[in-house]
Structure 1
């Protein structure tokens, strides 16, 4: 690029050789460079606005300082937004750049990414949960398990013992994990076995699915939605069936999207601050310590639907 500051420019400004500049700026071990010279080189680099050449650095380090996150379409929820913010901020602190990919990640697209930018890492969103490793680092304290427990526990605290979980008809991968944690929470609380049901996207079909659920399980008094969108479909289906929410059927969402507050009745939901999860992921892929990271516990936003 025309006008790009080079190591030769930094060398000329600091009065040393380009090799010495390279040793200082790349923190090359085993070099006898005095603190005074090192400081002079670093100050010259800052003053000139020197930026390392990414391709050269990638060749030297074996990868670029780019981390790719494959997130699909999961950017509406509070969890994904705060996760991405934490991941990006923490990577930036360690001089790495985050790129977010929305398309489905296949073997071919993964190879294209690796060939094009030689990323430090490619992360699949929610990979810890899908691989079952979440419980290895405290999932019941601050992870997906505890978030699910907060949702079911909120309904139990309001006297509901027969609870269903509304899952999208396309059965997203995380639904299996969430359902498992919800069923375990119900058992731990001494509730009746959790009843899963699949709710379609169309309003008419959603009402029919809820009607069939209640016909077969008439004692159900509350529904936990897989996410807020699923819970809102359940609320609308209940109202279409002439039910009162929450008097006849309480409904709670998950992940505190902005739409729940605008619904009638306003949707109770679980708020999750995932910024620490993103920072944890960033440090993990960079091989850094994570012991000092503190994750906030999920909490329920109480509104009219419960």
Structure 2
């Protein structure tokens, strides 16, 4: 896809065209257009193979579709307007993107942001006794989740590996997250523990599971999607060349309702595009104290009258959460030379 820059007039024209296509997709069925495409229809992006998307129509049928260049990059979960080909069955062209309510991105190998999953309602961060959980990495996840405005959920997997003392200690470490509003579910695929509760949380929502390698995310996906292999075969047939879905993001319908997007490559989020205000949203327990320091340029590093230091002394802030906030804030400000830090 070309990376050429569009003028404001070109962007406005493209936007008008897409608006018109979205309106027509919900109206009377028109005749095939001049290039032999059928009527405009709405659909859901199930998988993205770069040069082609797999689109599910409103009846649940799958189509391999090319994408008009002016639409940019699309992602699993995107709602689109598309037209079936009049010349080849099961093939079509995506002609418009329906407005997203949320979008998760990550940098590609060139550092450019690439959409991963769209229209998410929830992101579940999967943890486990091994590898050792990192609060700093968890905080990065939660900041990125807060930045796109969706619900965050913590899933402690493989709890069958913990004895009573180790379990209590790990739950104590995670208690500050529960206290600031992040639900904490305990699960074990091997012991079939907590799976019903997780299904209930995911039901009726578009969700994504993320986590470090080795936390058992793949096992949870398998347990939640008993017909996953059947779905993979259907999607592979739709691609026309037998491609497997384990290396690309794929959307699956959960048996009890809702959708789960499986993204094998997403294990962490980069925060380079997150502004300081979005960082603050990832630390809701700090919000009542931010902006209340004696000095407007307070760096929260021992300055007199620091509201965060006072809250820490009163026990209203967990020390390791404040450490994470300051560390992430320093990283973000380092990428924005000349930008004043908010307090």
TM-score (normalizing by structure 2): 0.26
For the pair shown, which has the larger CA radius of gyration, 1 or 2?
1
Higher helix share: 1
TM-score (normalizing by structure 1): 0.28
Higher strand share: 2
Higher RCO, 1 vs 2 (CA within 8 Å, ≥6 residues apart): 1
